[in-house]
Amino acid sequence: MTFDNLKPLIKDILQEKVPVDTRLTKVCELLKETVPYYDWVGFYFKNSDKDELKLGSFAGEPTDHVIIPFGKGICGQVAVSNKNFVVPDVKAQDNYIACSIYVKAEIVVPLFVNGENVGQIDIDSHTADPFTEEDEKFLEFVNAKVAEILE
């Protein structure tokens, strides 16, 4: 299934009349099930007024990394930089938090609501260097649609 085919499905899920967490979990599950190299998909959000992220909805193996301090790991760096971070090879990253021995690559895209970085979508892959600019653009689309239900 192409990203263009997934976009209307994402919109439909996010418009459902169920709790936000349920919708976000459905988005994570859809992405994990339909994109072959998306092995773990989750949303991290700023944890109230603390300089840390807290895991929200996700699909994939449970992780011990429920809280991530700003600046630590790929997710923590995105919380500070406000920029997408594509990691083709996690072993080449000094500031990487290993969630699974199978993870080879990661992409993290910040989620903005009214110009403020409130969280991010994080995707781990068991495939080396799978992410392209097309993934980045698609995940920016997903986050823009998520932002609409968080405003």
Residue 48 contacts by C-beta under 8 Å, 6 or more apart in sequence? none
CATH level 3 topology of 3-150: Beta-Lactamase (3.30.450)
Would you state the pLDDT for residue 98?
Answer: 66
Indicate the pTM of the whole model: 0.95
- pLDDT digit string, tens, across residues 41-85: 999 999 989 999 999 999 999 988 899 999 999 999 999 999 999
Residue 27 contacts by C-beta under 8 Å, 6 or more apart in sequence? 10, 13, 14, 41, 57, 142, 146
- Where are the domains positioned within the chain? 3-150
